[in-house]
Structure 1
Amino acid sequence: MTTHQFLSPFQFNNGLTLKNRVVMSPMTTMTSFYNGMVTSDELNYYAARAAGPGLVITAVANVADSGKGFEGELSVANDDMIPGLTALARTLHQNGTKAVLQIFHAGRKSNHHILRGEQPVSASAVAAVYPADSETPRAMTEDEIQQLVVDFGDATRRAIIAGFDGVELHGANTYLLQQFFSPNSNQRTDNWGGSRDKRMAFPLAVIKSVQATIAKYADHPFLLGYRISPEEIENPGIRLEDSLYFVDQIKDKVDYIHMSMGNYKRTSLNDKTNTQTLLSQFAAHTNGIIPLIGIGSVETPADADAVLADGGTLVAIGREFLREPQWVQKVTAGDEASLRFEMSPNDMDELAIPSVMQTYLKTSFHDVMHFSNDADKAQDYQNTMAPMEGFEKKL
């Protein structure tokens, strides 16, 4: 029987131990109630998948009502959410699996329909390039920025009370934390914008707020992770050297770095002369210092092995867990021949995929879901961005 490194335990610097190095990546379900409370459909979806991975990172939860990015989104914006989040954490804690709540603010990646008539906010009053009909946001005031820093801390307190093992700051996929760092969306001239270092001020303030909350309220090892997109394709925009600089500034302040990209083999989308994988370039800045979660179109055990061989400390699996909820258990048992790499649309109810998520998968992610009734199943995200990364996908 083949022994895979990703099945071995892993211990973070703060003492939290994972039973294996497999992470279920955060995937949008669009299944929460209108106000962000957890539904039974969500609990059933996670219950079908939670027992295998060492760590499950939830779909994103907004830390403030102004941060809602789409309908059916989780919320951790007030204490009313704690009972549902407690049920979610309990559901994820199967067979020793650890649970991290991903938290964020959508910023300009929202609109007045989702925000019930309110204008979206961002670092500056600059509309997103993608999608083409993006609304122009309102630039946040000093007081609003300071309050949002507090909101991230309050969200962390609620995650601790609910029984999670950590929070992950979603600083990727062109959401607000990334918007403050990006020269495309942040054109401020005060202390929150301008130079690259000043554009880091808001993410650093949020990290500090969350650190203080963990120190005050957590009575057990509690993770603080940060998710980051390697590049933007907008001009101006974040380039690879900017993201690596960012990682260097935060790698002693968080417990892990989580990359966001559609394929672990991806190289630079902006610099075609740079042929090294983005994963290996990030690993050169994190190895021996902080764990790095590699991700992107990981389906087979060989893919997971390749992520670790290329510098990942942990390996995140997303769409494959939709097709094969028992992926870890089957690999552990030496039953790799039974792994499903295709999914029939007729099996999605049986796989506990919520109905609204089924529609999402059939539209935005249709080309890469490997539906068994598709003639062409070979597409991937190796040379392009995925829809969740902020790219406008033509359907």
Structure 2
Amino acid sequence: MLYNLYELQRAWLSGAAAWASVGSEVLQNPSLPFGYTGVGPVMASALDVFAHASVSRGKPSFDIDTVEVDGKNHAVTEAIVKRKPFGNLLRFSREGLPEDAPKLVIVAPMSGHYATLLRGTVERMVESAVVYITDWADAKMVPSEAGRFDLDDYIDYVVEFLEFVGPGAHMLAVCQPSVPALAATAIMAKNDNACRPLTLTMMGGPIDTREAPTSVNDLAMQRPLGWFESNVIATVPLAYPGAGRRVYPGFLQLAGFLSMNFGSHLMSHYAMFKHLVEGDGDSADATKAFYEEYRSVCDMTADFYLQTIEHVFQRHSLPRGEFVHRGQRIDLGDIKDTALLAIEGERDDISGIGQTKASLHLARNLPEARKKYFLAEGVGHYGIFHGSKWRGMIAPVLEGWMDNHNTRAKLKVVA
């Protein structure tokens, strides 16, 4: 019922957005005198903002055609190199990369947004590396015959993708996948898997949410698991390939994120409105581009979502040494040669300071020279992987860490 009601609302808003867009264009038409009055631009701008906020969105494209390196533009190629029911592995490579360029596997969050939320991450790292990224599927678009997908399956996918890329790869986990990526690394280390990553970088990840809990962590702790299953899990309607699948809908995830910072989102849209009225199209377009990506959401399977709530946010299974994968307990002490880099944002209001850093002391058998912590000053959660501070402050730290651990035998002491 919840999902069907949402579909009805979406259909109505899509129609309203279309009419608002038409109205905005009419009011700004230079051939009409109303556009030259003081009221015309204001009304047109208001309709434009409403249309942008209300229109339905599908899966965005990465659209990374070129990157600039040393003042020259280099073409970038994108390819699907491995297909799986619940997610593909994409590869990005630019022309002119040296033959010995590092291979970086980026594990994108399965948290309601598409992997394209990390477009800026890919765009920056493809300057110096062959970049692979997990492109998770929208659960409502996965045919029901594909079966279930849970936290165990997520870890299996990470291992399988690393094995496809082959030995000598580095791994980067952004936010939520820090937990399954760290677990996968421990499993591969225990099995002496030759494709275990040379380095694992975790950025803003909830490794141990008992450290500096945020409002996101508090919400997960305040309700029993049964509450989440009863109140936020819905059934995919008949119109989609995944009809009948139980999911955590992307529209609920988006509503939760927007409500956390409702004031700032409201002011962003008001600023966009003012830019449009003043004729500052570039500033308005920048805000539009962000929300175009931010509001593009997808569903995740109920199994994966509920297990993440239970084991990551409620039971803290991994840091307590109680996390089990396919019947086998995961011991982070098995990680002995994968260099770990933990990056946190000073102003992160989703993963508090110390939650990602916890991974370093949990890997108790890893030499200290293969551990590094970096606190990005003045950076919020999204600034860790997107924007000028990511490009100029954080990415160089990651590149340096990869360079200093580009083989298992090579070991430099990094300050």
TM > 0.5 between the two? no
Larger helix fraction of residues: 2
Higher relative contact order, chain-length normalized (CA < 8 Å, sep 6+): 2
Structure number with greater Rg is: 2
TM-score (norm 2): 0.29
The structure that is strand-richer by fraction is 2
TM-score, with structure 1 as normaliser: 0.31
